[in-house]
Amino acid sequence: MNRDNPSGRARTHKTPGRAQRTGSSAKTRWIWIGLGVAAIASVLFLLSRPSDRGLTEVTAAEAYDEYQGGAIILDVRQREEWSAAHIPGSVVIPLDELAGRLDELPDEGDIIVVCVSGVRSAEGAKLLVAAGFSPVSSVRGGLRAWDAAGYPLEQASP
């Protein structure tokens, strides 16, 4: 029997071992790495988005006023859609061709982008703004809103 250990059982040391200390430290390190990666991804996402400066969404009435004032109407629907019905004097460049055909657009003047509902036109308008065109507008509600307001459309002949 040992005076320092009356029970005679072997004593275990309660101080955390290296494995316990490393696990906690490694976990903290991975948390910080994860936060760093998330921060970098967020910054890259924000930098990759085109600026919406110079881009506005307009109503059909506002688009019609600009159209009467000489603004260019850019229709980003497919040619078959445009042929069926379109705004008189509009230019058709399908959205999937727009990036490669920017040189067909004037460097100056208002550009109003239109499609059926306003979804493709918003994408086209963002592309134009990112390419340096300004001012650029997208018609909220697209040709549906334009037609519902009674503004002119050229229809295909049967």
pLDDT attached to residue 123 = 96
pLDDT higher than 70, residue 35 = yes
| Domain layout of the chain by residue ranges | 1-49, 55-155
- What is the pTM for the complete model shown? 0.66
- How confident is the model at residue 40, as a pLDDT? 78
Element (H, E) at 114: strand 111-114
CATH architecture of the region 55-155: 3-Layer(aba) Sandwich (3.40)
Residue 122 is encoded by which pair of tokens?
């918003």
**Which amino acid is present at 20?**
Q
DSSP 8-state code for residue 78: -
Q: How far is CA 80 from the centre of its chain?
A: 27
